[in-house]
Structures are given as C-alpha cells and as structure tokens.
Structure 1
Amino acid sequence: MVNAVYLHIPFCDYICHYCDFNKIFMQGQPVNDYLEHMDVEMKNTLDRFPTNKIDTIFVGGGTPTALNEEQLEKFLKDVQDRFGPYVTDKLEFTMEANPGSVTPEKLRIMKSYGVNRLSIGAQAFQDSLLTRLGRGHSVEEIGEIVQMAKQEGFTNLSLDLMFGLPDQTIDQFSETISRALELGITHVSSYSLQVEKKTVFYNQWRKGELPLPTEEAEADMYALLISRLEEAGLSQYEISNFAKEGFESKHNITYWKNDEYYGIGAGAHSYIDGVRRANAGPLKQYMNRIDENGFPYMDDNVLTKAERMEEEMFMGLRMREGVSKQRFEVKFGQPMFSVFGKQIEDLTSKNLLQDTGTHISLTEKGFFLGNEVFQEFLTID
C-alpha cells in the first residue's frame, strides 16, 4: 500500500547553473492549466491505485513557492481534497521553499492547508557563491525566510547546503555551516556539487572554465560538515542528511527504505506495486498525455526480484542504521547473506561495511566511499 506522495511544480523564477531537475522558466507558462492537469492526475491515480493511509507529502520542483498566492491556494486545496481523506494525524507535509519567493501570505496559506515542514534552498552563505550558482536570492534573504517561517509557526525547518562549489574554500563552507546553525534550524541536507549534463556548469566544465575544489578538499569539507553538525546536535542519519532528534525527513526515508510512493506532476516518478513509472517531463507533453490517456506515463519499468533486492541494499545503506536483515528476509523470502554474502564479506574486510547484529550498515570509512560500496550490489544476474 502506498503511504507517500511526491508532487512536482516545475516552474522557476530563475534557472540555477547546476540544476538538472525537470524545471522551466515560469514567465509565459500555462501555470493554471498545468495545475488543473495535476488535479486530474491525482484523481485518476487514486482511482487506479487506492490507498487508505498517507503519512508523508512532499512538494518539490522547480520552485513550488514561485506560484503566486492564488495559484498556491488552488494547488494546496486540490491536494487536500484528493489526499486529505487519507492523511494520518502524524502527517509530514513538506514544501520546498526558495528565499526571495516566499511571503508571509504564502506561508499562511501553506499552514492553513497542513504544510508543517519547509525545505529551504539556501545552498551557500556568501553572495559571491550564490551569484556563481545562478541563485536568485541573497544571503540576507535566507535569514528573512527562516524568521518569517518561525513567525508563522513553522518549527520543522530544513536547509539545503552545497559544497565542492567552483572556487569555494573550506573556510567559506565553515562559515556557511556556522551561519546555518545560527538560524536555529532542525535539519540540514548537504550535497557535493555534481556537474550534470544540460546545465550551465556542464558547458563551463567542458570549456575548462569551472574551477572545482580537489577531491581531497571536497572530502575535508564533508568531514567538517559531519563534525560541526554532530557537535550542534544534528545527527547524521543518512549520507547527506542531518537532523535534531525527531526531525528526520520521513518522506525521504520512504525512498531509502525502498517503500512505494505516488509521483504526481511533469517529470515525476512513482513506485507502485513493484513498478517504477516516469511521467512525461515537457509541460505540453505531460498535459496532452493526461488529456488523451488520463495518465502522463512515459514508460513502465516492472522490477525483477533481483532488481528490488539490489535497490533495497544500495538505497538502504545510505542510512546510518543501514539495512535490516529481518526486514530483508520478510520482504524477499531469502536471508540477506544468501543473496549478498560475498559482497558483504568483501566490503566488511575492507572496513566499508559492518554487521551490527540486526543491520548491515556503512562504517565511518564507508560513508566517504559510499558509491564504491553501492556499486558492489549491482551484480545479480
């Protein structure tokens, strides 16, 4: 049974130089028409794949807060009408929010429709780096959005921070961590820059115009991140995520535990009944498919048992607690060691994995070499 919902708002007021998510510059786009089609997709999805309980809702983008107040209220009302009958008392309802695109009125609208967690795209606390990233906000506006959110009663606040940026120094990243902690947030998601195709940064990289820190410098930034946040009471519960006790992202844990979820909107992905589906990304194509078929699916990928077991391992190992041996056996009818015994033994001998008795998890060394570990679980014939 599906208990989680992801909804995608692809519109942006500006396009960041590193972003390869499905997004589109907002000006001149059929925003209202798109929201109507999202509502149809929600209805049709629930009709085809019913549920009786929703524990988490996550609205990402793009920039969901690029919607104006009227559009935001229409969208959230549709979400409430469709999924509201199934939400639990402990619902985690997250919206991504960008500094500079949030107003007190938008926050009040979110609060009135049950949003209780904000994921704020800060990225850095130096205006020079924000400009380099193509962000449309200032450092000052990061503080402003946090204070506005607190004034409107939001207590579950996450900041996104990036490291390994062009010309970024470890001192700058240390300052970013300090400034973030001064804001009194409850959660941090922090990722190293990945240069993806079809981005401004990729074009600069191909021309030799993207001066990135060395691998050693990036590893030092990651080590600093872990130690500074742990000292401040934000425990690392996943490779890139840190939280005060009780403020871990329930929605993202759905992904890492390889549980199923709805994906609504252009370019969204879903995982239902062992099938991964990808929605059409371009707006016109997304809306046309809904008009013609009721659903915007581009393809259905029916996972084999071997593929589901692989995913269970390389997704679950991202978490500090690792993968439960009992859960694996219940889920797949086979002991974990009967399937992945050799990989676990080899990685344990390299001090990358450990057996805690109930779980298989990364060691401290393994956290720095996660990709090397995950690749070992993509070997089932």
Structure 2
Amino acid sequence: MRGMYIHIPFCHQICHYCDFNKVFFKNQPVDEYIESIGEELSIMANEGVSFENVETVFLGGGTPTSLSEKQLERLLAIIQEYVDVSSLKEFSTEANPDELTYGKLLVLKNGGVNRLSIGVQSFDAELLTKIGRTHGPDDAVRVVNDARRAGFDNISIDLIYGLPGQTIEQWQDTLEKASALDLPHYSGYSLIVEPKTVFYNLMNKGKLPLPGEDIETEMFSMLMDYMEKEGRHRYEISNFAIPGNESIHNLIYWENDSYAGVGAGAHGYLAGKRYSNIGPLAKYMSKTANGERPLQQTHNVTQIEAMEEEMFLGLRTANGVSAALFQKKFGQSLQEVYGKTVQSLIERGLVEQVGDRTKLTRMGVYRGNDVFQEFLK
C-alpha cells in the first residue's frame, strides 16, 4: 500500500453540508476509540498487511483536531507503532481553525505530522455562520500564523463556493483574503447538497437559496483564473499548488493506487479489493475488541471496473491518463478499450491528446461529470 487514511469521527459542531461519518464529541468514548484504531492496525498486521512501503498518512474526519493534546499524542504514538513516520513523504491532518491551538500544533509537529489541511471554507463571517462553522475569518489567519510559528510550511486551506446566498463579490473577497496568506496549496470545492444533511432538509423545504448553475460556473472560473495568476497551478479539478507542493496522499487516490482505510466508516483499496468499515462506533469497537476486521463491505474490483476508475480518476488530474501506464497496468491499449469514446470526446472539445496523455480541456474541466460518465459501462 502507498497510503493510509485514518478516520476520526468526532466533531464539536456538525456543519450543515457534511455527510461524512461523524458524531458529536460530547459523551463519546473518544479514548477507547483511539485504542480501537491501534487494535484494527494490529489485526491488519496479523493478517499479513504490510505497512513497510507506506508513503503517506492522512488523518481525516470528522475533525481530528477536536481531540485534546493528550489524545492526539496517544493517536500519534499508536500510528508510530506500525508506520515509520520518519520515512513518510507526507503526514497530513485535517483541522478546524478554532480548534487548532498552538499546543496541538506542537504535538502534531513532534508526532511527525508535516502537512495541515485547514477547513476555512470562507472568509465571510455571515456565510460561515450560515453553513454551521464555529470559527471566524480572524481564526483562519491566526491559525496559519501559529502553524508557521510551530514550524509548518506545508499548509493548505479548503474553500467552498456556491454556498446559499453567496455572491460573486463575497467569493472574490474570499479569494483575495486566501491569497494574502500566500500558502503553497489551496483546494476549492463547489457545494454539493448531500442527503442526510441540514442543507438537504432545507432544500427539500424550498429554504436553501443556492446561487444557481451560471453563478457557480462563474465562481469556478474565477477560482481557476485567480489561482493561475497567483502561481498555484491546477493539478486536479479542485486543487491548486505551487509546483512541488501537490498533495501526495490525494494523488494516490487519483492515480488509482492502493491505500488502507482505518477507523469507523473508513474506505480502503488493498490487493484489488475496495472495502468500507462499519460506521457506528459501538459496532466498530466491538469488532476490533474481538480481534476481527471491522468490515462493512468488500468488493473485488474487476478488470473493467479498474479500467473505468483509471480513466475517470486520472482525468481529474491535469496530467491526465497515460496510454503507456494504462497498457502496463491492464495489458490492453487505451486505444483498444476506449479509443472511440476518447475520439468522440475530442470532437466535442472535452478532452485532448497531448503526447502520450489524454487530458480534459478547459471546457472538459467544467463538464467533468459528463466526461467521466462516458467511461462507465
């Protein structure tokens, strides 16, 4: 495996758009859950899963920084029992601006974490309140300054556009304030209203004033143009970086490579199998306590499915899909399998051939989902 994702499902506040596996922090068995992470890693090791070649570890959630300093120290110590943290190319954690104290930053740094992905989302105080965030714009600036003081230089922030009631002017202001932080990496996502969220319920009641497709497209265009102007190249549809600061962990996903998913509700891809873990904490912890993998589902990925994934994941990246690598992985040529589909997309102006690679055009980036659908049988 190249990467490891570890899920921390605890939150002090549930955002209105979030559909990830999460629970309110209060009255939860947090310490016991952290020990269950160690139990799951031990079970995997006993089953022959090797952690020797792990390049990246990513702590996601939920909110990993909802943990106390002591809890973070214990989690990091458990990870170090199975992974040589000193040899990792990247060790990332997600973070909330109002929970990432200077003390926690030092714990993370001392535990081997070298990259922060901070959920800023917006620099507009009113919008932050509307989407259920508990931090303000000043918290975002403060935490970036604190992170640099603690020795972090690989810092990314997430931004969201297409928020309820969000205007072009508000988005422009957020882009300017984000740029002023002069970070090596930015992620910009359009709001997706997922089932079982506060926003989904409001939308069904007709009480979610979304900007509309035309404005959302304009916001995406602004994001791409602004990042290019600031020297942050788009290396994936929603991700921008100074060259050399791309997220290695996320590239593992888009390169359709292997990674472990650890924790309640986590997903993984190992030895040709995609799997998901049990989501509810009590059931997850009961399984690991009994020495069993806490698996909810497993699926053996067929050759056709793997080829489909190679195309729609690879096309998300600016580098696109390599015909030579496709041939090496699957023993068939990209032309043989998808030649007619690719030619049709070229004629419609959605993809282009650049040397060995098939890539999205600018129009294809806007219509990515339409392109990806073409590769699903």
Q: Which amino acid aligns with 1:108?
A: L
> Which residue of the partner structure matches residue 11 of structure 2?
12
User: Contact 2:39–2:289 at 8 Å: present in 1 too?
Assistant: no
Q: Which amino acid aligns with 1:96?
A: E
> Which residue of the partner structure matches residue 83 of structure 2?
83
- In structure 2, what is the Cα distance between the partners aligned to 1:102 and 1:89? 25
Superposed CA offset, 1:147-168 (max 9, x none): 0000001000000000000000
Q: CA deviation at 1:290?
A: 1.6
- In structure 1, what is the Cα distance between the partners aligned to 2:83 and 2:88? 14
1:71 aligns to 2:75 (yes or no): no
> Which residue of the partner structure matches residue 372 of structure 1?
370
User: Contact 2:43–2:291 at 8 Å: present in 1 too?
Assistant: no
User: Contact 2:51–2:82 at 8 Å: present in 1 too?
Assistant: no
Aligned counterparts, 1:127-206, within 5 A: 127-206=125-204
> Which residue of the partner structure matches residue 28 of structure 2?
29
> Which residue of the partner structure matches residue 322 of structure 2?
324
Select which of 248, 251, 254 maps to 2:249.
251
User: Contact 1:158–1:185 at 8 Å: present in 2 too?
Assistant: yes
Select which of 300, 303, 306 maps to 1:302.
300
Superposed CA offset, 1:233-254 (max 9, x none): 1000000000011100000000
Where in structure 1 are there 5+ consecutive unaligned residues?
none
Superposed CA offset, 1:279-338 (max 9, x none): 001101111122235211011101110000000000010000101111110000000111
Superposed CA offset, 1:249-276 (max 9, x none): 0000000000000100000001001000
Superposed CA offset, 1:199-251 (max 9, x none): 00000000000000110000000000000111001000000000011100000
Report how many aligned residue pairs link the two structures.
Answer: 376
> Which residue of the partner structure matches residue 115 of structure 2?
117
> Which residue of the partner structure matches residue 360 of structure 1?
358
1:263 aligns to 2:258 (yes or no): no
Q: CA RMSD in A?
A: 0.9
Q: Which amino acid aligns with 1:243?
A: A
- In structure 1, what is the Cα distance between the partners aligned to 2:4 and 2:162? 31
User: Contact 1:122–1:160 at 8 Å: present in 2 too?
Assistant: yes
TM-score of the superposed pair, with normalisation by structure 2: 0.98
User: Contact 1:322–1:362 at 8 Å: present in 2 too?
Assistant: yes
Select which of 189, 193, 207 maps to 1:209.
207
Q: What is the DSSP-based 3-state SS (H/G/I as helix, E as strand, rest coil) of the residue aligned with 2:89?
A: strand
Q: Which amino acid aligns with 1:27?
A: K
Q: What is the DSSP-based 3-state SS (H/G/I as helix, E as strand, rest coil) of the residue aligned with 2:178?
A: helix
- In structure 2, what is the Cα distance between the partners aligned to 1:300 and 1:205? 33
Where in structure 2 are there 5+ consecutive unaligned residues?
none
- In structure 1, what is the Cα distance between the partners aligned to 2:76 and 2:106? 12
- In structure 1, what is the Cα distance between the partners aligned to 2:286 and 2:212? 46
1:228 aligns to 2:226 (yes or no): yes
Q: What is the DSSP-based 3-state SS (H/G/I as helix, E as strand, rest coil) of the residue aligned with 1:96?
A: strand
User: Contact 2:51–2:83 at 8 Å: present in 1 too?
Assistant: no
Q: What is the DSSP-based 3-state SS (H/G/I as helix, E as strand, rest coil) of the residue aligned with 1:60?
A: strand
Q: What is the DSSP-based 3-state SS (H/G/I as helix, E as strand, rest coil) of the residue aligned with 2:179?
A: helix
User: Contact 1:12–1:62 at 8 Å: present in 2 too?
Assistant: yes
Q: CA deviation at 1:54?
A: 1.4
> Which residue of the partner structure matches residue 273 of structure 1?
271
Q: CA deviation at 1:342?
A: 1.3
